[in-house]
Structure formats: C-alpha cells, structure tokens
C-alpha cells in the first residue's frame, strides 16, 4: 500500500485503530522523518519494523497498548520517541531498550508530555 510513496517524509496514522505493525509495513519509506502512530491500539511492533527508517527523527507511539519491545526494534537512531500512555513492563527484557535510549541519546520526555512510567512488574510499577 505504501510502496508508491518512496519519497514520503511525514506520515500521520493517528487514531486508526491499528493493532500491530509487521516488519515490512514501512520498508519502502526510506525518507520518512516523522511518523505519528499515536492513539491506536498497537500491542505489537515487529522487530525490524523501523530497520530501513534511517532518517526517522520523530516517532510518536503514545496512547497505545504497548507493554514491551523485542530487542532490536529500534536499531536506527531515532531522536525522539513518545511513549506516554502505554503500560510498559520494565522487567529484565526491557534493559536493552533503556541502553538503546541512553546510548543514542533518545529524547523520551518533552515539556508537554507526562513522564513515562512502568506499569510492571509490581516491583517497578510507577517507576519513572
């Protein structure tokens, strides 16, 4: 569906009731800089979904149903990832994501965005 839009730079898919993204969803969009996936029902994002988005600067995943990400989901260096409104599970499998954020200096908090916190496991519930 998106194959004919190879030069697309901004894509807004906000409020579309999306539940998952497979690995090839955005593979032809190599010039994408801004991707808004907020306010959907995303529960799963394929491990290599953003592999070809080397120019992606802004990724809004806020207000979905995301709880975790497979290691390698965010291999490219995305400068801003918005995650508020998700029920993130901050267990041992989440460590790679924290390392990714720190190593790549990804901004996950912006002045108009509430702080991101963990929904679980219980020992991490509410941790910001």
User: Structure tokens of 88?
Assistant: 């993130």
Give the C-alpha separation, 15 to 28, whole Å: 22
Residue 85, classed as helix, strand or coil, is coil
List, for residues 23-49, the tens digit of each pLDDT value.
888 989 999 999 999 999 999 898 889
Q: What is the CATH number of the domain that holds 81?
A: 3.80.10.10
Longest dimension (CA), the chain: 47
pTM for this structure? 0.83
User: Structure tokens of 80?
Assistant: 């801003």
**Is the bond preceding residue 121 a cis peptide, omega within 30 degrees?**
yes
Cβ-based neighbour number of residue 12 at 10 Å: 12
For the chain, percent of residues with pLDDT exceeding 90: 36
Residue 11 CB burial class (10 angstroms; 0-12, 13-18, ≥19): middle
C-alpha 27 chain-centroid distance? 15
Q: What is the mean pLDDT of residues 95-101?
A: 83
DSSP run (H or E) holding 36: strand 34-36
Q: Give residue 63's domain range.
A: 1-128
DSSP run (H or E) holding 100: helix 95-103
Number of domains in the chain: 1
């Amino acid at each position: 569906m998106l194959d004919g839009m190879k030069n697309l730079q901004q894509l807004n898919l906000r409020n579309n009731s999306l539940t998952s993204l497979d690995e090839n969803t955005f593979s032809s969009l190599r010039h994408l800089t801004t991707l808004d996936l907020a306010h959907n029902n995303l529960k799963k994002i394929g491990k290599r979904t953003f592999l070809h988005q080397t120019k992606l600067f802004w990724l809004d995943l806020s207000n979905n149903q995301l709880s975790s990400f497979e290691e390698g989901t965010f291999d490219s260096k995305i400068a801003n990832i918005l995650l508020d409104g998700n029920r993130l599970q901050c267990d041992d499998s989440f460590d790679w994501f924290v390392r990714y954020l720190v190593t790549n200096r990804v901004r996950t908090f912006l002045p108009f965005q509430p702080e991101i916190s963990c929904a679980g496991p219980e020992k991490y519930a509410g941790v910001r």
